[in-house]
């Protein structure tokens, strides 16, 4: 009987061509009496499909497109927004003037929470049904947009348990049309079809595929008012969306890697400027441009999937402790990096590339370079005001095992860049204390 297992060849000095075209070999190991499938860590570029149906209006004054964006779907609008930031910056008044002047009928859903709750989704679906809504307008950050995406899909969901829909109904769903106006640069929800909904009763925070926005309005001036904390957290989220896909075994998807590295460098350059000068248009515009592309899938086209392990681990943290998503990611990422580098040194070449191409580091000792790239990332987050330990968020070991088990449920991280099991995840959480 043959048993197969992965083995790294650890050969990075070969040319790219050699590494790609000598990718797989079967070797007999007489001593172990089984065949070992040697899968070298470098794989060649994979097929992909580009299918993003969202129309994006980017830039100062893009709101002039709002009326036409909505009218194509009807005049009965559900306006969803969060805890009031859109009123403080005058955006709510600007929108209401456009809608009132245009003869739209508006129903409001306010108070959508950061880490949006399933209860808000249920409330929104009810409002849509009661008021025969034609189109949903989400104004805010990822939380508001995600909640509105779930509302759009929930409207057509035939069951009465919306949490069941989030948890079990796979793939894009029949949905009401969605238009959004983004006010914080972070998630990329304006340019993807996913949404993340929280159920505090069950301590679950789950991502699901709902619907793409039909139209997204991205005006960087709306982000001038975002606090330093949320600006830094949002930037960490953008960077994480890139790093989750960048650390992949596929080496020859050159455009994808180039896009990823450019986005990382753009955030690294512009976050400190946005923190120092919150109304610096160029810095805010660059961050917004990056956030939109980072989670769209484009920086991963052609690359082997990676399991997005830091997101899996972070969603557990925010499900239990309701923390800011980007902060959780910033804390986890350097610890995850050090852990996997130790667990599987065959992935070192990726870290070397990260250190060189993203941070401009140089040196002959590849291991030192890999570690320096991680250290400088951690310092960057810290220097930009992000708390970098779970202790600072009052999180202790109490739920680590339950969170780790859930993050790895169904072997979810078994095919990650470096496969992780529950014990690994517990260790990574502990390293974050
Ligand atoms: O609620 P309001 O008053 O609007 O205040 C928000 C909130 O307190 C505030 N804010 C937003 N725009 C502002 C502003 N404050 C001042 N001025 C403005 N212009 O910022 C706070 C955070 O808002 P939120 O929407 O929660 O932030 P973010 O965009 O980071 O969204 C986080 C949520 O998205 C999920 C996360 O898990 C989390 O639930 N994600 C969604 C993804 C997706 N759909 O693709 C992918 C991500 O990986 C992520 O998981
Ligand atoms: Zn994220």
Tell me the whole-structure pTM to 2 decimals.
0.92
Q: What is the pLDDT of residue 173?
A: 85
Tens of pLDDT, residues 194-223: 999 999 999 999 999 999 999 999 999 999
403: left (phi over 0), alpha (psi -120 to 50) or beta: alpha
Decide if pLDDT at 316 tops 80.
yes
HSE-CB of 34 using CA atoms within 13 angstroms: 9
Q: Ligand 1 centre and the CA of 94: distance in Å?
A: 21
Beta strands in 290-384 (DSSP E): none
Stronger pLDDT, 160 or 41, i.e. the higher one: 160
The whole-number pLDDT of residue 249 equals 93
Q: What mean pLDDT comes out for the span 226-230?
A: 98
**Pair 178, 142: CB distance under 8 Å:** no
Angstrom distance (rounded) from CA 369 to CA 375: 10
| Mean pLDDT of all residues in 399-406 | 98
Tell me the CA–centroid distance for residue 88 and ligand 2, in Å: 26
Structural contact between residues 312 and 269, judged by C-beta atoms closer than 8 angstroms: no
Is the pLDDT reported for residue 32 higher than 70? Answer: no
272 band by pLDDT with thresholds 50, 70 and 90: very high
Ligand 1 pocket: which residues have CB below 6 Å?
82-85, 89, 114-115, 140-144, 146, 183-184, 186-189, 192, 194-196, 222-223, 225-226, 230, 234, 237, 295, 311, 325-326
Residue 2 has pLDDT above 90, yes or no: no
**In the block, residue with structure tokens 């959480």:** 429
Q: How many CB atoms lie within 10 A of CB 356?
A: 16
Average pLDDT, the chain: 91
**Distance from the CA of 104 to the center of ligand 1, in angstroms?**
27
Q: How far is the CA of 143 from the centre of ligand 1 (A)?
A: 5
DSSP 373: H
What are the E-state strand segments in 117-193? 135-140, 178-182
Distances (CA, A) of 159 to 139, 155, 164, 379: 28, 10, 8, 48
Nearest CA-CA partner of 372 in 388, 356, 383: 356
Please tell me the residue having the least CA distance from ligand 1 atom 47.
187
Domains and CATH numbers, the chain: 55-223 (3.40.50.1970), 228-431 (1.20.1090.10)
Q: Tens digits of per-residue pLDDT, 319-347?
A: 999 999 999 999 999 999 999 999 999 99
What letters, b where the CB count within 10 A reaches 16 and e where it falls short, cover 41-50? bbbbbeeeee
């Amino acid at each position: 009987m043959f048993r197969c297992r992965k083995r790294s060849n650890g050969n990075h000095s070969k040319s790219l061509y050699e590494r790609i075209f000598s990718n797989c070999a079967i070797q007999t190991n007489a001593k172990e009496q089984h065949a070992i499938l040697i899968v070298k860590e470098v794989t060649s570029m994979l097929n992909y499909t580009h299918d993003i149906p969202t129309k994006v209006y980017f830039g100062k004054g893009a709101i002039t497109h709002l009326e036409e964006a909505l009218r194509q779907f009807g005049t009965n609008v559900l306006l969803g927004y969060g805890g009031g930031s859109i009123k403080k910056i005058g955006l709510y008044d600007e929108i209401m003037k456009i809608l009132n002047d245009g003869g739209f009928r508006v129903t409001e859903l306010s108070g959508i929470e950061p880490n949006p709750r399933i209860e808000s989704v249920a409330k929104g679906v009810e409002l849509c049904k009661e008021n025969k809504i034609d189109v949903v307008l989400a104004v805010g950050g990822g939380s508001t947009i995600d909640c509105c995406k779930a509302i759009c899909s929930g409207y057509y969901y035939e069951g009465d348990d919306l949490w069941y829909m989030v948890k079990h109904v796979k793939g894009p769903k029949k949905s009401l049309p969605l238009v959004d106006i983004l006010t914080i640069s972070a998630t990329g929800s304006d340019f993807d079809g996913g949404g993340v909904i929280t159920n505090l009763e069950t301590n679950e925070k789950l991502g699901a595929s709902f619907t793409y926005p039909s139209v997204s309005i991205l005006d960087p001036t709306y982000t001038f008012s975002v606090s330093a904390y949320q600006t830094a957290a949002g930037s960490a989220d953008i960077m994480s969306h890139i790093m989750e896909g960048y650390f992949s075994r596929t080496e020859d998807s050159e455009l994808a890697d180039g896009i990823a590295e450019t986005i990382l460098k753009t955030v690294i350059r512009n976050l400190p400027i946005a923190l120092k000068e919150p109304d610096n248009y160029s810095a805010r515009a660059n961050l917004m441009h990056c956030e939109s592309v980072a989670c769209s899938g484009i920086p991963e086209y052609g690359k082997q999937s990676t399991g997005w392990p830091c997101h899996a681990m972070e969603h557990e943290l925010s499900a239990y402790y309701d923390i800011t998503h980007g902060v959780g990611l910033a804390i986890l990422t350097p610890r995850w990096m050090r852990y996997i580098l130790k667990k599987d040194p065959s992935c070192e070449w990726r870290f070397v590339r990260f250190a060189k191409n993203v941070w401009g580091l140089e040196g002959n000792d590849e291991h030192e370079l890999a570690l320096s790239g991680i250290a400088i990332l951690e310092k960057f987050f810290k220097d930009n005001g992000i708390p970098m330990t779970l202790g600072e968020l009052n999180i202790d070991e109490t739920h680590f095992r339950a969170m780790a088990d859930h993050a790895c449920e169904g072997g979810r991280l078994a095919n990650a860049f470096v496969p992780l099991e529950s014990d690994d995840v517990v260790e990574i959480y502990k390293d974050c204390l």
